[in-house]
Amino acid sequence: MTDGSTFLQPKQAARAALQLTTIAEDLKSKLDTSVARIRAIQAKGTQVWGDDEPGTEFVKNYDKGGDGAASGTLDAATRYADVFVDVGPIVTRAINGTVDVDQAVGEAITKLTGQPGEPSPDL
């Protein structure tokens, strides 16, 4: 919990948001590659696990025709990676919005008081 004050160092926050975006894009790329490889294996069906009864049973229970845990897990990994990629730009917009509001408030106070406000040292 905070005391109601918000402190933002825009340059440092922007660098962190950029790093987050880079990390998220790398993670998404790696997950997409892994998901594609796993789906390619799944597409082979019993060729991978064998045509015998245990192989056929494994394939049937492994993914239950696309409605099982295997597909659900791959779909979730893809969705989470997509969301993670969106976070960096959202943070960047929040930083920019905070700076814009701070500047607008400072300008309004300057107009009201006739005295220039001091800019943030990070701007």
pLDDT for position 6:
72
pLDDT for position 92:
94
pLDDT by residue (tens digit) across 48-59?
777 788 877 777
Compute the half-sphere exposure of residue 113: CA atoms within 13 Å on the CB side of its CA: 9
Q: Name the more confident of 63 and 90.
A: 90
pLDDT for position 14:
94
Confidence label for 85 from pLDDT (cuts 50, 70 and 90): very high
Domain locations in the chain as residue ranges = 11-112
What is the C-alpha to C-alpha distance for residues 27 and 46, in angstroms, rounded to an integer?
A: 30
pLDDT for position 66:
66
Is it the case that residue 90 has pLDDT exceeding 90?
Answer: yes
Q: Work out the percent of the chain whose per-residue pLDDT is above 90.
A: 46
Check residue 45 and report its DSSP letter: T
Alpha helix segments (H runs only) across 4-120: 10-43, 46-49, 53-63, 69-113
pLDDT for position 2:
60
Q: Cα torsion at 96, 97, 98, 99 (round to 10°)?
A: 50
